[in-house]
Amino acid sequence: MVRLVARTAAGGALPQTIGGLTLAEHLPEAITAVMPFDGQEGAVSDDMGMPFPAPGRTSEADGALAIWAGRHLALVLGAPPRSSHGAISDQSDAWAVFDLTGPGGAEALARLCPVDTRAAQFPPGHTARSLLGHVHASITRLKDDRLRIMVPRSMAHTAIHDLTRAMGHALRSQSAG
């Protein structure tokens, strides 16, 4: 019998450290899309055990992170939630998830993303759907020095290429400055 080997989205291309920044792959237990039915956000929140995140925000409970990911849509990273008040779908293998850790992550991202992700504008708990180069992406600040970046899995290596290049550029302009 053929033995299938599961490969992650980054497939061993990560982690990479450039200057003080590290790009690493994050592998959540599951990624689940939650879309509450009309007017059911409250009931879904009860089922999730945390508030359904407001636009541009995250919420957290028991190690699971809910990231607002568009209109009436949240992605839950962690144990899959259950609810009969919304449409729930497993998207675990649909996304590549990266954490960019270290000082100056926002400066590197500024080369790719048209949203200001510096901590003053975009503190921990804030999230944005936007672009990473030409790729649709979800960008979340987890901590002062950690950003979480999600792209469709098929774009994982494009994103790694773009991000590591941007990290290099940020490093060079830092040392030049």
Q: Which residues bind another protein (CB under 8 A)?
A: 55-56, 70-71, 73, 114-115, 128-131, 136
Which CB atom, from 15 or from 55, has the smaller least distance to another protein?
Answer: 55
| Nearest CA-CA partner of 16 in 128, 106, 73, 99 | 99
Between 73 and 79, name the residue whose CB sits nearer to another protein.
73
Among 91, 68, 71, residue whose Cα is nearest residue 141: 68
Distance CA 117, CA 109 (A): 8
Q: Closest CB to another protein among 94 and 115?
A: 115
Q: d(Cα 133, Cα 54) in Å, to the nearest integer?
A: 26
Peptide bond into 15 cis (omega under 30): yes
Nearer to another protein, 35 or 171 (CB): 35
Shortest distance in whole angstroms from residue 129 CB to another protein: 5
Q: Left (φ > 0), alpha (ψ -120 to 50) or beta: where does 152 sit?
A: beta
